[in-house]
């Protein structure tokens, strides 16, 4: 089994398995904080990690996407680009420590949160160094090593947090564990790159670094704006409403954002493929793009429905009745999944096809729109209103990406199929409210069955589609492309 389909499915499978383990462990940590340490402490942790994760997304300055795109097309560029990228990442990581602390200070956060930001920001340096190796492997379409790297990181995360929990540690100790995880990621990246006789050396040229910064800038604006939507919400709530509302909001949205990996790994695996096929084979690109886009949206809608229907059970079982106010937040925020999914491949296509500046402008405006709406509407709508704002802004952004991908590449959605899936999902939600079914677990089953049966009855998903999905995720993709 050879070719594009094999590499793509192997990468998706590897990343999915590793992310399931890692995300599961992170959710357990959130549950521990909420149940044992309390809502306010969960708010502190969410704000600290919100600041750190925000700058994690800034840390590669957009250079990573540019390097992957260029090296995947011309492997001879690898050594020059990646060596300079490595040196740049060290400098940027150190600078971001100061920027993260300045952000916390200007936001008026408590002393505990500021100390947590100081500790956690050390991981920004290690993350930057690890980015160089991630770019190196990704450019060669070698993403399956990340499964092993993520498993190692997951073990460090679980063992570290387990020790903190058993010893009765608090939020600062939990933040310190994240630094160890970033260090482990860097060391593992070095080991795997050496296995393929690929090395990143600390060699820099001012002219090359300047070139990388210029070319990476649109990717920086594009990616940072996009991920800021997922990070700034809890930071804004913490600054405006305090740590307890931030904790309630984070308990719900953490479940949603942790579920994004199911969708995001597809984009991660497909990005270098898109870059190469745009130059080599537009017909194969069309087939892969259309199929993966359709399947991703269906999976995302199904996941959103499960979170929606199971929100009361999840919040009660994981956090207890004191988190009841977070139930409607989860039932709103879960729709971020299909909204994110529908714009994922178009956004990757714009980056791979060199049209990232066109998308970056709108991404920046979307963050500005979100910021204005949150500060104006939060006092009136509360944390549920913030969830609606985030979903709405992401929907607007995804629609723009779709329009741009059609304009530049003539690649869009399967319009009728996408609308039909959305209508079926809406009907399943209506059924949740009007069906005379008692019992929370029965409601979950009812919604899931209604969605799946409707997909087959209206032939949105056929037996051939099931075979394609199986081939994609079980690494038997003879018919994928």
pLDDT for residue 430 is more than 90: yes
pLDDT for residue 465 is more than 70: yes
C-alpha to C-alpha distance for 50 and 56, rounded to whole angstroms: 10
C-alpha to C-alpha distance for 143 and 160, rounded to whole angstroms: 26
Proportion of the chain above pLDDT 70, given as a percent: 80
322, 39 contact by CB (below 8 A): yes
The count of other CB atoms within 10 Å of the CB of residue 384 is 19
**DSSP class of 476:** -
- Alpha-carbon distances, residue 54 vs 59, 100, 123, 242, 299 (angstroms): 9, 9, 13, 19, 27
Model pLDDT, residue 332: 96
- List, for residues 432-458, the tens digit of each pLDDT value: 999 877 788 899 999 999 999 999 888
**Hey, where are the domains in the chain?**
4-413
Nearest one of 118, 57, 124 to 89, comparing CA atoms: 124
Higher pLDDT, 84 or 122: 122
CB environment 15-37: b (16+ within 10 A), e (fewer): bbebbebbbebbbbbbbbbbeeb
318, 274 contact by CB (below 8 A): no
The count of other CB atoms within 10 Å of the CB of residue 74 is 11
Find the mean pLDDT for residues 21-45: 80
Model pLDDT, residue 70: 67
Model pLDDT, residue 88: 76
Model pLDDT, residue 475: 46
Higher pLDDT, 450 or 220: 450
Model pLDDT, residue 306: 94
C-alpha to C-alpha distance for 339 and 346, rounded to whole angstroms: 12
Most confident of 106-110, 324-328, 459-463: 324-328
- List, for residues 109-165, the tens digit of each pLDDT value: 889 999 999 999 888 888 877 777 777 666 666 666 766 777 788 888 888 888 888
Dihedral of alpha carbons 108, 61, 50, 331, sign = positive
Higher pLDDT, 480 or 216: 216
Dihedral of alpha carbons 303, 417, 464, 472, sign = negative
- List, for residues 277-301, the tens digit of each pLDDT value: 787 778 888 877 888 888 889 989 9
C-alpha to C-alpha distance for 100 and 14, rounded to whole angstroms: 32
193, 133 contact by CB (below 8 A): yes
C-alpha to C-alpha distance for 415 and 413, rounded to whole angstroms: 5
Model pLDDT, residue 477: 38
Confidence label for 373 from pLDDT (cuts 50, 70 and 90): very high
CA 195 from centroid of its chain's CA atoms: 28
Higher pLDDT, 331 or 234: 331
Give the chain's length. Answer: 481
58, 220 contact by CB (below 8 A): yes
Model pLDDT, residue 308: 96
Confidence label for 479 from pLDDT (cuts 50, 70 and 90): very low
Residue 152 is inside which H or E element, if any? Answer: helix 145-166
C-alpha to C-alpha distance for 92 and 425, rounded to whole angstroms: 44
pTM, whole model, 2 decimals? Answer: 0.75
């Amino acid at each position: 089994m050879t070719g594009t389909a094999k590499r793509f499915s192997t990468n998706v499978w590897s990343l999915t398995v590793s992310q399931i383990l890692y995300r599961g462990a992170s959710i357990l940590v959130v549950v521990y904080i909420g149940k044992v340490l309390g809502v306010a402490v969960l708010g502190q942790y969410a704000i600290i990690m919100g600041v750190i994760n925000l700058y994690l997304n800034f840390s590669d300055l957009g250079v990573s996407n540019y390097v992957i795109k260029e090296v995947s097309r011309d492997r001879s560029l690898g050594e020059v680009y990646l060596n300079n990228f490595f040196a740049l990442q060290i400098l940027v990581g150190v600078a971001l420590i100061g920027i993260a602390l300045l952000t916390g200070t200007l936001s008026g956060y408590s002393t505990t949160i500021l100390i947590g930001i100081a500790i956690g920001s050390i991981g920004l340096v290690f993350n930057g160094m690890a980015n160089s190796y991630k770019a190196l492997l990704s450019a060669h379409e070698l993403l399956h090593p990340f499964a092993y790297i993520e498993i190692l990181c997951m073990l460090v995360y679980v063992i570290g947090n387990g020790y903190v929990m058993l010893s009765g540690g608090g939020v600062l100790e939990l933040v310190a564990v994240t630094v160890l995880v970033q260090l482990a990621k860097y060391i593992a990246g070095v080991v795997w790159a050496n296995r393929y006789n690929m090395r990143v050396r600390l060699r820099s040229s001012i002219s090359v670094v300047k070139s990388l910064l210029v070319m990476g800038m649109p990717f920086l604006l594009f990616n940072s704006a996009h991920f800021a939507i997922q990070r700034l919400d809890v930071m804004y709530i913490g600054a405006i409403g305090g740590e307890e509302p931030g904790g309630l909001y984070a308990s719900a949205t953490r479940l949603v954002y942790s579920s994004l990996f199911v969708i995001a790994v597809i984009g991660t695996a497909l990005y270098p493929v898109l870059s190469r096929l745009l130059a080599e084979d537009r017909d194969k690109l069309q087939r892969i793009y259309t199929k993966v886009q359709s399947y991703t949206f269906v999976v995302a809608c199904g996941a959103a429905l499960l979170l929606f229907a199971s929100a009361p059970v999840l919040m009660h079982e994981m956090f207890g009745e004191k988190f009841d106010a977070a139930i409607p937040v989860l039932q709103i925020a879960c729709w971020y999944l299909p909204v994110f999914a529908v714009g994922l491949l178009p956004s990757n296509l714009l980056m791979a096809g060199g049209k990232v500046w066109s998308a970056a402008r709108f991404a920046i405006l979307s963050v500005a729109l979100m910021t204005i709406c949150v500060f104006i509407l939060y006092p009136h709508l509360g944390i549920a209103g913030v969830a609606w704002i985030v979903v709405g802004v992401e929907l607007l952004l995804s629609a723009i990406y779709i329009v741009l991908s059609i304009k530049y590449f003539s690649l869009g959605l399967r319009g009728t199929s996408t609308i039909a899936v959305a209508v079926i999902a809406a009907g399943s939600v209506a059924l949740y409210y009007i069906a005379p079914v008692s019992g929370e677990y029965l409601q979950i089953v009812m919604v899931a069955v209604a969605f799946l049966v409707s997909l087959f009855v209206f032939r949105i998903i056929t037996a051939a589609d099931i075979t394609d999905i199986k081939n994609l995720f079980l690494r038997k993709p003879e018919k994928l492309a």
